[in-house]
Amino acid sequence: MVARSNSTNGQRRDFLKTAGAAMLASAIPWSQAKANEFAGQSLQVWSCGGLAEAFMQANALYEEKTGITISYTGAFAAALGKSLLANGRTEVFAGRVLELAQKLRSAGKMVFFKPLCFTQYVMITPKGNPAGINTIQDLARPGVKVVLAPDASPPGGAAVLKLLEKTGVKDAALANTVVQGSCVQEIMTSVIDGTGDVAVVEKRLTRIPNFLGQTEVVPLPDNQQPPPPLPFTIGMMEDAQNPDVARDYIAFILSEQGQACFERQGFIPALSARGQELVEKLGVKDA
């Protein structure tokens, strides 16, 4: 899948508002003049599917600025990681879970990696928030209809259950559950149509075009976020045909312009002030 998009107006302005000056101070330098030397070349990029919308925006912007063609695949991270640890080949890989990047490095498959962004969890309600959901404790209120996806992949299932356990509402929330799905997109639909009053999801889901603007979003404080896997990393693979192109692409993704695409899709950019705190707290660093 090759990304194509020209909808970048306001990204820089929006990002500066939310990420702040700290990001600019630590941003990876990227030079368009240097990148123009690579015009006409191509680069293969894989990422876990949760990053797809952000990468499609960033890839389109990079292609427009450099003339480099990005061949992009977004799929289930565990499957891509298993493939890469065996005989799969790509030039740049961005995945969820720090341990996967570390395994690829240890196996000699990845040359280096850098922190890319972090996911964050929020509560969603139908438009108008009819049940008056304000805090995570509201999931324990009698009569509140909770929607969960315990059988979804770990970020949508196990991580949410850990969050409920961490905040002391797991048992009551489970008792209030009216939908137990196996897919996070099913959870979104069940809240949008009013079947449920509330669900806990990754913020990125609220930015997917099919769901954008269709729910109320209630933030959760940092101390209520679940334990890892929160980080996403990006790295250059040993199979990069032109390492200079791969390095330039990664520098762009970690630049102000590239990181804006991830912020817009609900992620915490790694180079924002909050992202830098999480890098240190979670130890998201190459060996």
| pLDDT tens for each residue of 227-242 | 877 899 999 999 999 9
For residue 20, pLDDT beyond 90 = no
pLDDT at 27: 53
Mean pLDDT along residues 250-277: 96
For residue 182, pLDDT beyond 70 = yes
For residue 54, pLDDT beyond 70 = yes
pLDDT at 170: 98
pLDDT at 33: 64
- Reported as a single tens digit per residue, the pLDDT across 62-100 is 999 999 999 999 998 889 989 999 989 999 999 998 999
For residue 12, pLDDT beyond 90 = no
Range with the poorest average pLDDT among 149-153, 204-208, 210-214: 149-153
For residue 26, pLDDT beyond 80 = no
Mean per-residue pLDDT over the chain, rounded = 90
pLDDT at 37: 81
Mean pLDDT along residues 149-163: 93
For residue 9, pLDDT beyond 70 = no
Q: Is the whole model's pTM more than 0.75, yes or no?
A: yes
pLDDT at 1: 35
For residue 251, pLDDT beyond 70 = yes
**What is the three-state SS of the chain?**
CCCCCCCCCCHHHHHHHHHCHHHHHHCCCCCHHHHHHHCCCEEEEEEEHHHHHHHHHHHHHHHHHHCCEEEEEEECHHHHHHHHHCCCCCCEEEEECHHHHHHHHHCCCEEEEEEEEECCEEEEEECCCCCCCCCHHHHHCCCCCEEECCCCCCCCCHHHHHHHHHCCCHHHHHHCEEEECCCHHHHHHHHHCCCCCEEEEEHHHHHCCCCCCCEEEEECCHHHCCCCCCEEEEEEECCCCCHHHHHHHHHHHCCHHHHHHHHHCCCEECCCHHHHHHHHHHCCCCC
